[in-house]
Structure 1
């Protein structure tokens, strides 16, 4: 009786010393080869047709489950990655190769600002009063464009009230406008100036200082020249106020001489019209010599086709009776 009970126990319950991890995996593999229903007991990962990793993992689990059961104990690779032919790990964000083109998914760098895009087309846009920050940017752009190509023209688009605001309040020193003017005079490039909107005070000087024959104005733009304004004196002593007033008069004389030079008008004429704000539309600015052409599509052809007043009279059958 003891022997009969001892034999089954010896064969069905092996001791822990004679059992190892390799024998357990061998027994499971042997059992799975005999029993075909063993495959259903292996946990199957969800199959996602859009996920290549899970699809590959599911196909391996279905075809050869022992590949998933016999995993290396100490492996340097992440789990289940060695079943691929050439496994590749995603790089860290700092190592990801950035896209060449701009898109919302993988930007190469922040998109450039608008002045930089215009600068690429050799366009300098002055759209604010001539405060120090604007002057610094404009002069830097002019120097950069000359360094890039000293033979290609530079296009300056102007919509500025100069060193004052539209209500006449001074926002910057007159030297800001003179700084841009001097930088333009030092360039080797042709400078095409275009007035869009307003060109007031020193902005009008910049407009007139373009290359002769390359100064343009939009049909409904306005130009205006005026005397420089005395900055707010505040609690300044009387002697300092006099010094500032003398400096403003000096800047006025300089502005008059430069405008007379570029408009080809006498200094006395410019000084006379500058006693009060002198507004000019595109036609009057062309007559005064501030610009050379008005940028109106087809205007030259229209004006060339217009008949003289005498021809209009002859066509209408009007005869001059007396010599009025």
Structure 2
């Protein structure tokens, strides 16, 4: 680059050094022309990366002040062309590449969200604990959020819960916890597909039966059970307070019987009769009782239809069934 700019100046000097007057006359205008051409010359620049500050700065100096590039010191401790920067940078800042976050990678870029949030993205609400206030709050909020997101797409409610009691029968929540989720389900515009996995006991069985007609399912080895509500621990309460609580439990029982009768298609008397004691149902009996509509197992419905009921097995085996004690 510098050599190309110095050639016109050298030719003009050698031409004017001649002693001939004619040559002096002929070359008298060339130094000025060479100087003007030098000032007006544009140094050819290769294509540069506009995101590279080093090359951009170098191109700007070459275009505006080419003498800084042409008159370089012979011996200098500074690397070439870095003295034109106040704070030289050898490399440009790498481009910031936006990467999509995938939680299927072995090493995600950021921590994944919690599992209920991932299920909620697929419009799945999972009840996997007894119906305590914290569970009720989360489930109702998820149902309301999914309706707000899309009031037409169905919601899938998976149930594996012992209701308001634990598996040992101890009461852990009031019956209103189950009624709160039930009322939220009834207010939604969406179809609600209910699926029982594991167990649906007490109030959880009501939620299973409250799904949209034809969209209530049960895994083949899941269990459903309906029972009367239980009186919470009274402790050292006065007798009058214990009586008030007992009356409230009776009211909740009657409400539960009416709702189960409504969603199973049975009479109130039939539901109240089987609820006198805990009434367990496998997938086949739950379908017969009207709690569910379909068993989720490929070919399971045909297999169950061909199999004899427990009463028929006992009858064929010659076993007499005694009245339950």
User: Smaller-chain TM-score range?
Assistant: 0.5 to 0.7
Q: Secondary structure at the match of 1:69?
A: coil
| Change over 3 Å in CA distance of 1:242–1:97 after alignment to 2 | farther
Q: Is the 8 A contact 1:192 1:215 kept in 2?
A: yes
1:299 and 2:300 are equivalent in the alignment: yes
Q: Secondary structure at the match of 1:185?
A: helix
Q: Distance in 1 between matches of 2:250 and 2:210?
A: 21
Provide TM-score, normalisation by structure 1.
0.66
Output aligned runs, 1:1-324, within 5 Å: 69-70=77-78, 76-77=86-87, 81-82=89-90, 87-89=91-93, 99-102=99-102, 107=109, 109-302=110-303
Q: Secondary structure at the match of 1:270?
A: helix
Q: Distance in 2 between matches of 1:164 and 1:69?
A: 83
Q: Secondary structure at the match of 1:171?
A: coil
| Change over 3 Å in CA distance of 1:148–1:69 after alignment to 2 | same
- Structure 2 gap ranges (5+): 1-73, 309-325
Q: Secondary structure at the match of 1:124?
A: strand
**Which stretch shows the higher mean deviation, 98-107 or 256-265?**
98-107
Q: Is the 8 A contact 1:125 1:158 kept in 2?
A: yes
> Per-residue deviation at 1:253?
0.6
Q: Distance in 1 between matches of 2:106 and 2:294?
A: 43
| Change over 3 Å in CA distance of 1:199–1:68 after alignment to 2 | farther
Hey, what does 1:34 align to over in structure 2? Answer: none
Q: Distance in 2 between matches of 1:223 and 1:301?
A: 21
Q: Is the 8 A contact 2:158 2:195 kept in 1?
A: yes
Q: Secondary structure at the match of 2:232?
A: coil
- Structure 1 gap ranges (5+): 1-65, 309-324
> Per-residue deviation at 1:240?
1.3
Q: Distance in 2 between matches of 1:300 and 1:136?
A: 36
Root-mean-square deviation (Å): 2.8
Q: Distance in 2 between matches of 1:89 and 1:213?
A: 60
Q: Distance in 1 between matches of 2:251 and 2:107?
A: 58
Provide TM-score, normalisation by structure 2.
0.65
What is the number of equivalent residue pairs in this alignment? 233
Q: Distance in 1 between matches of 2:281 and 2:182?
A: 21
> Per-residue deviation at 1:292?
0.9
Q: Is the 8 A contact 1:99 1:106 kept in 2?
A: no
| Change over 3 Å in CA distance of 1:105–1:255 after alignment to 2 | closer
Q: Secondary structure at the match of 1:77?
A: coil
